[in-house]
Amino acid sequence: MDTLLIIICCFLVAQFLFMVLNLYSFPSIHNKMQTSSRPTPTISVLIPARDEERNIQGVLQSILAQTHQPIEILVLDDHSTDQTASIVRELAANYQQVKLMKGKPLEPDWQGKSFACHQLAKQAKGDWFLFLDADVRLEKDAVEKLVPSIESQGSGMISGFPRQIVRTISEKLIVTMMMFVILCHLPIWMVRKSKQLKFVAAHGGFILINRKSYQTCGGHESIKGELLDDMALMKQVKLSQQPTTLLKVDSIVHMRMYHNVKGVWHGFSKNIFTGMNRNFLLLSILVISYVWLYVFPFFVLIQGVVTGDLHIFALVAYLLAIVTKSISDVSNGVSAWYGLFIPFSILGTICIALHAAMRSFYHLGYAWKGRRYF
């Protein structure tokens, strides 16, 4: 038993060191404007919105409060059945940069969000497009702080993971796993340095893309059938030989993705197995490795406490897992306390992944905002 736990500890130490290296190499926001005789690039903010009456006013107000204003804010009402359009229309009456677009009927072979983004991009006039989800909120100096990064990169695509606002138990356990998985498995520096398509990471809630690069890579039309539009778009940008960056943006962008266990379950079900390219072998490897690394030592520790036969290396493994998860959480602006519950975060994530894999295997699809995705 101790030999197995020592091996697990060695893997966890390696995982921890990898995460620390990732955080050290994570591209951050430039603090100063670049000195250049060229005019500052213009930015169009593009927001696809479907039944977003809870969120749409908040995101628009956060944009309108920016110290560096975009040249336009385009909102596409994607056949909402609530008051989304009315809220945008009222704001548009008072702010000329806000414009409401009515979405066209969804065309065959398109995914809903990609089709909405495609329509927005066709009308946008800026040098760069900033695609935002309606549940995203920008700090008042966000756009101003993004301009130097835009000028430094010059073209291509920039994405980042907003700081997650988590309030319910399901959010604290599962949503925080998103950044944990990225930091523990993806060499972030390779997103920019490597041309290989396996080194991509993007968050659909926050995507900055150069207008010419968007057109060169084919835009959303080139990925119209992809469920994970963010990852697919970054792959297209890489294929077109344009630079890509995963930027640390949690200091200037935050969001609350889901509000209850149902939202967390359905939201992650839609994305988690698709993000593994629907690879059952990869899923099996990840499930087995996560159980051994993060769940098994915890239950050995609990058993030892109950029976009085404490395994010290089980405690070490659990502490290593806590520290790794806590540092991941803190790096994304989330409380370190959630790291204590990493075995339950792992088990919850595994349950969602297995559920998603089952639905994929039986071609049941995933329901989201009144549409079914396969």
The fraction of the chain above a pLDDT of 70, given in percent, is 98
Q: Does position 174 have pLDDT exceeding 70, yes or no?
A: yes
pLDDT digits (tens, 9 = 90+) for 127-148: 999 999 999 999 999 999 999 9
Looking at residues 302-327, what average pLDDT do you find? 93
pLDDT (0 to 100) of residue 228: 92
Verify that 106 and 172 share a domain, yes or no.
yes
Query: Taking all residues of the chain, what is their mean pLDDT, rounded to a whole number?
Result: 94
Verify that 34 and 11 share a domain, yes or no.
no
H-assigned helices in 308-366: 312-331, 342-361
Looking at residues 333-351, what average pLDDT do you find? 95
Residue 53 pLDDT class (50, 70, 90 cuts)? very high
Verify that 205 and 315 share a domain, yes or no.
no
Total domains in the chain come to 2
Verify that 246 and 351 share a domain, yes or no.
no
pLDDT (0 to 100) of residue 225: 92
Which pTM value belongs to this model? 0.94
Q: What's the domain range around 119?
A: 26-257
Verify that 8 and 68 share a domain, yes or no.
no
pLDDT (0 to 100) of residue 366: 81
pLDDT digits (tens, 9 = 90+) for 188-242: 999 999 999 999 999 999 999 999 999 999 999 999 999 999 999 999 999 999 9
Count of helices and strands (H, E) across the chain = 15, 12
Verify that 142 and 191 share a domain, yes or no.
yes
pLDDT digits (tens, 9 = 90+) for 280-291: 999 999 999 999
Verify that 303 and 324 share a domain, yes or no.
yes
Residue 372 located in a structural domain: no
The fraction of the chain above a pLDDT of 90, given in percent, is 87
Residue 264 pLDDT class (50, 70, 90 cuts)? very high
Query: Between these two residues, 72 and 332, which has the higher pLDDT value?
Result: 72
Verify that 194 and 79 share a domain, yes or no.
yes
Verify that 207 and 196 share a domain, yes or no.
yes
Distance between CA 155 and CA 208 in Å, rounded? 10
Residue 264 located in a structural domain: no
Residue 121 pLDDT class (50, 70, 90 cuts)? very high
- Starting at the earlier edge strand, list the strands of the sheet with 43-49: 98-102, 72-77, 43-49, 128-132, 206-210, 157-159, 244-246
pLDDT (0 to 100) of residue 34: 52
Q: Does position 32 have pLDDT exceeding 70, yes or no?
A: no
Distance between CA 176 and CA 329 in Å, rounded? 7
Backbone angles phi, psi at 35, to 5 degrees: -80, 110
Which of the listed residues 200, 222, 257 is the one where a domain comes to its end?
A: 257
- Residue 203 is given by DSSP the state B
Looking at residues 164-186, what average pLDDT do you find? 95
pLDDT (0 to 100) of residue 308: 82
Cβ atoms of residues 108 and 82 within 8 Å: no
Q: Does position 246 have pLDDT exceeding 60, yes or no?
A: yes
Residue 265 located in a structural domain: no
Query: Between these two residues, 370 and 347, which has the higher pLDDT value?
Result: 347
